[in-house]
Amino acid sequence: MNDTLVETLSGIRGIYGASLTKEVAQNYARAYGIFLINKFRGKVRVVVGGDTRKSTGILKRIFIAEWRGLGFVVIDVGVATTPMIELAVREYRATGGVIVTASHNEPEYNGWKLLQASGAILGVKQADIVIRLARAGNLNVGGNKKPGKIINRTEDLKNKYVQFILKTIGLKATQQIKQGKYKILVDPNGGAGGVIADKLCKRLGVKMVGVNMRPGQFKRLVVPNKETLAYLTPVINKEQADFGVGLDCDADRAEMLIKSESQIAKERGNMINGHEALALAIDALGPKETIVINLPTAHLIYQVTKKYGARIKEVDVGETNVVAEMEKQKSLVGGEGSNGGVIVAPGKCRDGLLNAVLVLKLMAERKQTLEEIIAGYPLFFEERKIVTARRDKSGLLKTRIREYYKKRGRKIQSAPGVDSGIKILFNQNNWLFFRGSKTEPGVFRIIANGDDRRLVKRMILEGEIIFDKLNR
């Protein structure tokens, strides 16, 4: 098992007790504390929450102890989802906070995400400051004679999150959902989503079939996908649920499934992919503002948004890139179809449960089943491959790939910056995407996506061949 401490803009992650130690946590708590003291020069309020891993409680206590020692007011929200904790920062007017989670990684991993006052994770420059301070170690920030106050808001936050969801969909949609008498299956896999899913469903008048609801009891791999959620299909069929939702440990990622007995499932499969999930959320919200997506999001989104007259802005892969552009464009909705999940302002991250509720909103408004709605979307296909560059050739490979396709007259898209992925357009809806991993040296991901199945297969094969040729 590969265990290298990952320290990036997206957060810190490692196996607890190995690369991720109490000392690492203390260094980051102190580094972030210094950052907040320097930034706000006054009373600091921080939110602390996390998922259901065994080590989460230990790590939370370290952050709480360090920050109380600096005189910070600490707001403990207990076990909560990432969207809930980010909401808490805004609702309780905090200056920042920490989410203790390793998200979709397996239970032996843990980590944390450090937050801005908006609830969003730290930006590039901010994260760089904290990481450099933490790596330096031996941080003497001085003691505070009077420890900071600790406030528990665990139950209050649950109520605030439910209210946030209801406000997002509106009173009319809430009533329509109640009248629809829907039934959904929810599988949090022992993760943080289990602490709020039932309460949310009850407020919406939705009957919930809970699977793997006991906190900290992980019955499948944490990341929700077609393979890990396959065992839910017979349960959805048996219960005749309108759809099922599988969550990761902090419930920012969600994958949805429909009954396998339906005609559309027989034709397309019963998993709603990330591109379709984003399209459903956009349809539910009907935004007029600019919609922000990442480069490897299917052009299905362009077709769905035509009726709303909304402009689409593409950015590089990464939730922070989507959120930053949404703030700039004053967007209502955005997301990464390639990674699953929708971001709805003022939220600053993907929210799996909100995505599911938006689907219910759309079903109630249209008085259609999810199968009927999906059947109205054009079918897009996707193929993926992981390849490895020769040592010290990653940067050169991007240049070579770009030059290769430029000579052949292909239109090329990328975002600003040397780390951006490269998107090669074969026609309006079909494209090939290359991106080097930021956490795995030399690893490249190749994605082909489009509405022409034969062309998609041809593109992914061509991508592998060209990569191998230019990698020599």
Looking at the annotation, which residues are catalytic? Answer: 103
Whether 218 contacts 243, CB under 8 Å: no
Whether 256 contacts 245, CB under 8 Å: yes
In terms of C-beta density within 10 A (0-12 exposed, 13-18 middle, 19 or more buried), how is residue 390 classed? exposed
Listed residue (253, 262, 252) closest to 228, CA to CA:
253
Beta pairing partners, 313: 292
